[in-house]
Chains A and B, each alone.
Chain A
């Protein structure tokens, strides 16, 4: 079922497919290089990412703050109106850090040396869908993000266990408030329903008993980390999945991962994320077997998946709707331009429906066709203009909340190299002739061809312009990005 792709099929199209899915896409030159590496080497480059050094420094506030608890208590106890002012300052500080964090992560996706690690981090963020809206602490959000990065390709049992003990998760699903006398079932339910098994593979009784097993998992707010508190743990006997024992949280997660359904569930989700559609039942069974054979190790599973012929089925190539993050990061990579300033990126992504660190609910983003409605499609078309032109007045207006802010931002942005450098991404020959230009743009942006009628429309546009200078070429770029085809990868 999972036999490897024949080497004869390793070409520009399949290499681009790997680059789009295991990473965030790339330029024609990068894809060509991948073709020349050969399939095995190409896949290994993506999958064994820890071999590539990544020296990205963490944001400077990304460490525990020994004074934080005291500071929060001081805010609570301050008399009015200072209390309100202090609270406002604290919120502003967190917002500022969150903004920085979003920019930091997007930059890693665009320029980082380990695309698959970042892609997996994005997958786990959607899978464990935790929102700043409830956690309200940028340090915790960063910490969770780093956890996903560190264990992106690690062991599933370890990742699931550590994700459960992660401070942001402890807050997000209320485990931090659960105690023996009053077990909170939120995490207990979601770990089975959303993270590891899926509906129908556990009973309500399992949830209740799991919540008891999990008591004692708590948040040490002073040191801002997980702590096990035996005093609030229910040490009594529980019956979960038909087994009875004196289980605790670690036992529970191990028992969940040991369920035959666990491998089916997580491999199905991984396949859907990377391949773009849910696997058939037969394929899912094969994927789960492979996963179990590898001891629930993600990295070796991913290697088999990215080598498999099934992953390169022609029905899968260029048929996945780009997520907003894929759209933004991928466009910047293809256009070889800079990410817009972070407040602009955040605004663009929010409008398209994917606000990082703020998934809409515990189920995460629906993804797939749900990214697209008439409003988000038009927004993509118009945001393409923002990327291609990077006009400082437009960027300022998007980033700002008030006209005064916009004026300040515009002054700051003036002189910033804006938009796509057409001389960088196109050779003189490609820019000399309308047909060679169109062919080069189609190859770069679509890794394929437009329909004849569409190419005709584009040619009409260029014809109406006379000479091909920068503004016409940018116009053509924006138009190709404003097609249904460009929304797929």
Chain B
């Protein structure tokens, strides 16, 4: 029953948006794949076909540069903390108290409100064994979910696409930004990346007068509609055989060209049509989440969105810099959650933040902190296991490793929890081995 409705909705969506007005448009390969899969009653149950209406969605936010976890979730009453942070420590009168030991950074008002509403989970002491203090390498470790001494080609999100999203629309993963994050690297080459919907298109150099056709655009379409995909030519042919995987490079390019045209149209249409219903900070992150909210509201069949915020590498002058960044983070995510609530989509969205490492326990001589290890992660949603989770690592000097906090939870346990409980897929083939799934729901 449910499948029927989904299929109907999708056909209607296709007719009205993608095929609307331009009958020369043919059914692109990925849609035909999606449909043949649906029609085979999702024969392979490991395959997740997103409909854009009812599947759960994960939004990953990268806090690039290594966020200082100690000043984010502050152990304000801890003597070791006070001693290690004489200049940049945050006092108990400033923190937004979570309990009698821990408080959020004063700029995280947005997070505090969500914490109080039971919509924020703070997982403490996240890290991995043999931590690497290079931004470059540690980011790679988080993105590929690899062991510290192993190099993996594909990202953990990419492996999710490979393992669980066969035949899905390329918009199953959407990165907001110019560069595809390594986390998206996959065998199946899924996922689209765009920094601005206005640029995610073929930009014709013609400026036709009103009512005139843009001949360059028209010719472009003709040049990029592969003949073999054209064969059926009508919506009735949708259930036909999908283009064989592993065809020639030219076939692959033709298919991608068509995917690009269709996803470009869809994304731009949604970005124009869907209105945001919350006020976001006018920051890069705020703008990214604004676009994500529009795409969710418009029903793009995406399972994972990815956005990032940079600048956390606070070797000096940390107080001002981190204040600005965390305020942006908290306010942007709060606005995003409000927007999704107004849309009625909050139930199916989970936001997860990560940073490549936390920072050294002891502050340095420049009012900043150097690269460290364990730090907290945040998860936002209204169906999550909210509150403080896990254990805050000990700050006692004898418990530190080279001046850094020792992790109490492996980040891959959190990935495993998110994959299994939220995205409902087996985590082992994606993470390479079994990690105890952290309870995120």
| B249/A319 in contact, CB under 8 A | yes
Contact B178 A351 (CB under 8 A): yes
- Decide: A461 and B218 in contact? CB cutoff 8 A: yes
Are A370 and B189 neighbours in the complex by a CB distance under 8 Å? yes
How many residues on A have C-beta within 8 angstroms of the other chain's C-beta atoms? Answer: 54
CB distance from A249 to the nearest CB of B (A): 21
Inter-chain contact A374/B170, CB cutoff 8 Å: yes
Contact of B226 (CB < 8 Å), options: A83, A369, A370, A484 = A484
> A483 contacts the other chain (Cβ, under 8 Å)?
yes
| Least Cβ–Cβ distance between B125 and chain A, in angstroms | 27
Can you show 27 pairs from A to B with CB atoms below 8 A apart?
A: A80-B365, A84-B316, A185-B149, A276-B249, A321-B249, A350-B179, A361-B182, A368-B249, A369-B249, A372-B256, A373-B191, A373-B192, A374-B263, A375-B260, A378-B202, A381-B220, A382-B203, A385-B203, A450-B223, A456-B222, A461-B215, A461-B216, A475-B216, A482-B202, A484-B226, A484-B257, A488-B249
> Contact between B216 and A373 (Cβ–Cβ < 8 Å)?
no
Contacts A361-B140, A454-B223, A457-B221: A484 and B250 contacting too (C-beta < 8 A)? yes
Closest to A388 in B: B205
Task: Give the contacting residue for A375; candidates B193, B203, B219, B223; CB below 8 A.
Answer: B193
User: Of the candidates B136, B252, B256, which one forms a contact with A131 in the assembled complex, judged by CB atoms under 8 Å apart?
Assistant: B136
- In the complex, what residue of chain A is closest to B315 when comparing beta carbons? A84
User: Do B136 and A133 touch across chains, with their CB atoms under 8 A apart?
Assistant: yes
Closest 4 CB pairs of A and B: A457-B222, A484-B253, A461-B219, A374-B260
The answer, yes or no, to whether B163 is at the interface (CB within 8 Å) is no
Which chain A residues border B182 with CB–CB below 8 Å?
A: 360-361
Pair B134/A363 contact, Cβ less than 8 Å: no
Total number of B residues with any Cβ neighbor in A under 8 Å: 52
For residue B260, which residues in chain A have a CB less than 8 angstroms away from its CB?
Answer: 374-375, 377-378
Contacts of A458 in B (CB 8 A): 219, 222-223
- One digit per residue, 1 when the CB lies within 8 angstroms of any chain B CB and 0 when it does not, for chain A 448-481 equals 0011011011101100110000000001001110
Contact with B along A364-398 (1 / 0, CB 8 A): 00101110111101100110010001000000000
Q: Is the CB of B253 within 8 A of A479?
A: no
On chain A, the residues within 8 Å of B200 by CB distance are 375, 378
Decide: A377 and B223 in contact? CB cutoff 8 A. Answer: no
Seen from chain B, the residues whose Cβ lies within 8 Å of a Cβ on chain A are: 134, 136-137, 140, 149, 151, 153, 170, 178-180, 182, 185, 189, 191-194, 199-203, 205-206, 215-216, 218-227, 248-250, 252-254, 256-257, 259-260, 263-264, 316, 365-366
Chain A residues positioned under 8 Å from B199 (CB to CB): 382
Contacting pair B191 A361 (CB below 8 A): no
B228 → chain A closest CB, angstroms: 10
Nearest B residue to A189 by beta-carbon distance? Answer: B149
Complex alpha-carbon distance, A369 and B189, angstroms = 8
Given contacts A83-B366, A375-B180, A453-B227, 11 further A-B contacts (CB under 8 A): A133-B136, A350-B179, A363-B153, A374-B192, A374-B259, A458-B219, A460-B222, A478-B205, A478-B216, A482-B220, A488-B253
Q: Are the C-beta atoms of B223 and A479 separated by less than 8 Å?
A: yes
A190 neighbours in B (Cβ, 8 Å): 151
